[in-house]
Structure 1
Amino acid sequence: MKKFITFIILMTLSLSIFAQEKDIYAKYGIKVETLQPGLNIGDTAPDFSGVDQKGNKIQLSEMVKEGPVIVNFFRGSWCPSCYKHLKSIRDSLDYIYDTGAKIVMVSPEEKESLDKFAEKKKFTFPMLSDTDMSVMNNYKVTFEVTEKYQKKIKTFLMTDIAANNALHNASLPVPATYIVDKNMKIIAKQYNPKYSIRMSPTAMIEAINAE
């Protein structure tokens, strides 16, 4: 009987926590049941390739031969928090490069729009359009956006998330950051569905120097 009561209590707590989590994440436009959990430190980083805004072929497994690589996922050029984070990285780029690291940005935004954004904001680090969201899915950072949040973005930022994405669906990445070493192992990460919380350039540098 005691075991049964304990089970009921645990189930009730679990449901309560899930409900609270759902309410919290809904504020960030996340359909909780679609939220992927991200990869962990020690996992092998999935390889990927693409063409950046300068027309250069980028492949992660080639980049890591020269040093650690910071893989950063961002939602799109329409996102003020993303721009703020990208700008902070741009302004700290020399310090990041001094560690021997490289950096690559990945977004579901269609390539033409992303290329224009990179040129306008003078982002020189590689920026890749994840045209089929395979990179996002392999790194397990994808989620579907709620209809309410889609309407909010249309109203306040005049952006249709689905139309803005190369795949033309309303899915986004958690703005996660993974640092990958020469063996394609993840040595540091920042994963938080609350999109305003990002890995700072200082934290990136500290994580690389700690290895």
Structure 2
Amino acid sequence: MINKRILTLLSILSFFLLSVSSFAQEAKIYEKYGVTVETLQPGLSEGDQAFLFKGKDQDGKTYQLKEALKKGPVVVNFFRGSWCPYCTKHLMNVQDSLGMIEAAGATFVAVTPENQERFAKLVEKKGLTFEMVEDSKLDIMNGFKVTFDVNQGYQDMLKKYENDLTVTNSIKRASLPVPATYIIAQDGTIIKRHYDPNYTERMSVKDILSTLQAQ
């Protein structure tokens, strides 16, 4: 009969090997999306207190989350940059439904590491009427724990399309946010989040509205 201690050790070893295999598979997927896995932050969770940030918007005015929350809930979206078609499409969807978000008592703000000159052009071109904020030192991204460093393969791919993150990012560094969305109650508590390193996935406007209307 196999000793119980040996069975326990075998069980622990099996769990360890499965964990290593699972991590390797996950890492391979994340690398596909440009993520240097060891730098990937886990994101704030529902129930956490939001990081009360401030920064310059597209008009050079100071945006403060603390002040915005006095008016009602705030939807914070992390925007990779005007070069990202998935991000732009999502923001256009939000713009199309912005009236309904505001009717639910909330406001929407997008945060990006891209320099203000570039995203201000996107705002004007697409007619976006919500505020966008420059995260010039990655303080906001780090405050929400959504930052990662971009791997070299993805950087090289972007450069083929004449986009060098060390040039287009305000901080001149190849770092991006997970394109996460956080819905924050007036007391600063995160009541809903969408966090997925897969940049093709976003929190839908439908989910945003259903969360706000349930409050």
Match in the other structure for 1:210:
214
Match in the other structure for 1:71:
76
Segments ≥4 residues shifted beyond 3 Å? none
Match for 2:167 among 163, 169, 172? 163
Q: Which runs of 5+ in 1 are unaligned?
A: none
Shift of 1:205: 0.6
Q: Deviations over 1:121-151 (max 9, x none)?
A: 1111000110000000010000111100111
Partner Cα distance (1:163, 1:49) in 2: 23
Partner Cα distance (1:54, 1:122) in 2: 14
Match in the other structure for 1:174:
178
Report the identity percentage.
47
Q: Deviations over 1:89-114 (max 9, x none)?
A: 11111111110100110000011112
Equivalent residues in 2 for 1:104-123, closer than 5 Å: 104-123=109-128
Number of corresponding residues: 210
Match for 2:11 among 1, 6, 11? 6
TM-score, with structure 1 as normaliser: 0.97
Match for 1:186 among 187, 190, 201? 190
Matched, 1:201 2:205: yes
Match for 1:19 among 13, 24, 28? 24
Structure 2 counterpart SS, 1:66: coil
Shift of 1:18: 0.7
Letter in 1 for 2:192: A
Letter in 1 for 2:128: F
TM-score, with structure 2 as normaliser: 0.95
Which structure has the larger Rg? 2
Q: Which runs of 5+ in 2 are unaligned?
A: 1-5
Structure 2 counterpart SS, 1:192: coil
Equivalent residues in 2 for 1:7-156, closer than 5 Å: 7-155=12-160
Partner Cα distance (1:11, 1:188) in 2: 32
RMSD over aligned Cα atoms: 0.9
